Amino acid sequence: MMRKVFSIIIFVFILNVISTAYAKEVKVVISVDKNKVEIGSHIRLTVGVEGAFDTDIPKLSMPESFSLMFGPSVSTQTTIINNVVKVFRGFMYGFSPREKGRFEIGPVTLDYKGRTYTSNSISIEVVARTPFESIIDEKSDTSGQRVDINKMVFVELKTDKQEAYIYEEIIQSFKLYFQKGLPIDDLDYVAASTKNFLAEKLGEERRYEEVRDGILYNVIELRTALFPLVSGIIKIPSASFKCNIIIRQQRNRGSLFDEFMGGGGRRYPVERSTEPVKMTIKPLPVVGKPEGFTGAVGKYTMDVLAKPTKLKVGDPITLTINIRGEGNIQTIGEPLLAPEGMKDFKAYNFEAKVTITGRGRGIKGEKLFNKVIEPQSEDSGVIPGISFSYFDPELEKYKTITHAPIPIEVEHSEIEIPIHLSVEGAGMTKGQVKILTKDILPIMSDLYSFENQRSAIYKSPFILAIVFIIPILIVVACIYVQRQRELLHSDVGYARKKRAMAHAQQHLSNARELLQLDNSSEFYAALAKTILKHIADKLNVTPAAVTSDNIYDILEKRGVSDDVIKELRQCLESCDYGRFSSGHLSKEQMESTLDTTEQVIMHLEKQL
């Protein structure tokens, strides 16, 4: 009896609490962590809903110049004081302004149970960013001397030679120097225009330390092989570089906002440009130029293989010519077969395949030519000699590699026997069948009946089980689908994570179209954007919050393996080079980067 009375008292108490809670008016308020912010910095905006815990996301309207960095991050708090329940649901966002001025944020609206609730408004002042040079001017060393910002961050653009022949390889080196320990972020390199050159990337960027004028610098070096296409005085214009210097501030560590905003550091923009480089490009000499010269400049060797060497008239011979060495492998022309010896052969066009084997101190590789020839008579006793000519810029003269004629044995072709078709016993009456031999008898000759010898299908236990299980599975599937739909509509983070792969595949499809259009700059930009957008969707942040400097640390904290992070780093570096390099990259290189991007996204999809 006492237990029933106690239960009734608790039930009445709960009803009283709930009725008190819902008797309160719903209220919507917005707040920010600061009212004055610099361009490029960040504010945290919180939309709070008091008095309800099952609302949708309030409708937030922001100025166009404010970029969403992350959010909303949803949290709910419930407190009970003197039988009064207070419910607070917060939606936190991160925004970064791009323009100066005074902006009004709000009001925010919320539709809840047939009523519309409106929040307050907040005024935000956006001011210009303080240049890093101004910060340095305010700080001097103990002797009162002004710190030279140009010695803290600077760039250089150099070539390994000031004079070269047309088509000769020139090594261009771009170096970024910044004092060791100086934190930088948001690196943006705009390569010098190389419209008069063919450009090939020489490996990945190099990172090392170097002492200059007694100061220890971190160095980031990007090397490119240039092949001049025109002669005369050519000027390589300036390359430019932008970054942000991060001045660390005291801030509580560990929040999601701090994790993506660089630990609370303020960013100050720094821009640097290199000096232009002038070069003298000489034309190739006319004296001594071989008749079969096709423009190859460098150092090369040649190997030749022919198979088969014993055959019949009209049979094909595959001629494989491998030219390897140092220089612009892509533009090597076809070797020359002595024309006087080709009159007894039928020849087909060359098929070529380029393989780059080294990108260290210069471009090294090989170009494999395959050519099919067919002897037309028994007198074709040798494959004619093969020659390849190139210009050696170090020796400043032409060189010709010649391969001796290859002996072959050609036999007379056998006479082809024509096939005659005839019908034996054409006068046989319709319906008669003649058994040709015991090896081919009519299949199923002993078939007695076409009647079904098995039991009725509806009596099978397996079929009966399926009939009863299928309705249950349909119900479970409907519940699951409905649950997924509710989550996709109510939880933005869950929806972005679930749809991330589909969006990535759509973006990769768009990148494939750019590949077919041979638009390398937009193609590589699309790949990099696809990767960052996929990571941002999986982590429920915007791509602008994911930078090349902090994303690797974030992924490491999220448990992504070192192999995947390394693969991601190499892929993004390849995309950056493809975007900023003015040289034309081959479709094979673009397809390889696309395949790598798809593989990186698949690995990230599994681990995030």
pLDDT > 60? residue 269: yes
For 80-106, the pLDDT digits (tens) are 666 666 788 888 898 888 888 999 998
Under 8 Å between Cβ of 155 and 272:
yes
Cα separation, 93 vs 208, whole angstroms: 39
Q: Mean pLDDT lowest for which of 347-356, 387-396, 476-485, 528-537?
A: 476-485
Percent of the chain with pLDDT over 70: 77
Strands (E), 296-385: 298-307, 310-312, 317-327, 336-337, 345-347, 351-358, 364-375, 382-383
CATH 1.20.120 domain residues, the chain: 491-607
Q: Which burial class, exposed, middle or buried, applies to 61 when counting CB atoms under 10 A from its CB (0-12, 13-18, 19+)? A: exposed
Look at phi and psi of residue 114 and say left if phi exceeds 0, alpha if psi is from -120 to 50, else beta: left
Query: In this model, does residue 381 exceed pLDDT 50?
Result: yes
Q: Tokens 């002669």 correspond to what residue?
A: 231
- CATH for 491-607 is 1.20.120
Query: Residue 575 corresponds to which tokens in the numbers above?
Result: 């995309």
Determine the average pLDDT of the residues in 171-195: 87
Mean pLDDT over 194-215 rounds to 86
**Averaged pLDDT of the chain:** 79
pLDDT at 195 > cutoff 90? no
**pLDDT value at position 550?**
73
Question: Tell me, what's the pLDDT at 387?
Answer: 93
Query: Which neighbouring-strand residues pair with 199?
Result: 226
What is the structure's pLDDT at 88? 83
Q: Please check the confidence at residue 170 and state whether its pLDDT lies above 50.
A: yes
| Check whether domain 298-411 has CATH 3.60.150.10, yes or no | no
C-alpha span between 565 and 553 (Å, rounded): 9
Q: Is the pLDDT of residue 426 over 50?
A: no
Tens digits of residue pLDDT in 534-555 = 888 888 776 666 766 678 878 8
Give yes or no for residue 139 having a pLDDT over 50: no
* Confidence (pLDDT) at 370: 93
Q: Distance between alpha carbon 380 and the CA centroid of its chain, in Å?
A: 53
pLDDT confidence bin for 418, thresholds 50/70/90: very low
Q: What is the pLDDT of residue 257?
A: 41
Is this model's pTM higher than 0.85 or not?
Answer: no
- Is the pLDDT assigned to residue 173 strictly greater than 90? yes
Sheet of strand 163-165, all strands in order from the earlier edge strand to the far edge:
163-165, 277-282, 232-236
**CATH number given to 21-127:** 2.60.40.740
Sort 248 into a burial class: Cβ within 10 Å, 0-12 / 13-18 / 19+: exposed
Task: With a cut of 90, say whether residue 514 has pLDDT above it.
Answer: no
- Per-residue pLDDT band at 581 (split at 50, 70, 90): low
pLDDT grade, residue 454 (50/70/90)? low
Q: What is the pLDDT of residue 251?
A: 46
Contact 181, 152 (CB under 8 A): no
The pLDDT-based confidence of 303 (bands split at 50, 70, 90) is very high
pLDDT of residue 247: 67
Q: Say if residue 469's pLDDT is above 80.
A: yes
Q: Is residue 483 predicted with pLDDT exceeding 90?
A: no
**493 CB-near residues (< 8 Å, 6+ apart):** 73, 540
| Length of the chain (residues) | 608
What is the assigned CATH class of domain 132-282?
Answer: mainly beta
Q: What is the pLDDT of residues 53-86, one digit of tens each?
A: 788 889 888 888 888 888 888 887 777 666 666 7
pLDDT band at residue 15 under the 50/70/90 scheme: very low
Res 404: pLDDT: 93
| Model pLDDT, residue 439 | 44
* CA dist., res. 509 & res. 58, Å (int): 34
Q: Does 441 score more than 70 pLDDT?
A: no
Residue 9 has pLDDT above 60, yes or no: no
CATH 2.60.40.740 residue spans of the chain? 21-127, 298-411
Flag whether pLDDT at 419 surpasses 50. no
Confidence category of residue 34, pLDDT binned at 50, 70, 90: confident
- What is the per-residue pLDDT across 345-379, written as a single tens digit (0 to 9) for each? 999 888 899 998 888 888 999 999 999 999 988 88
Structure tokens at 526: 């699309």
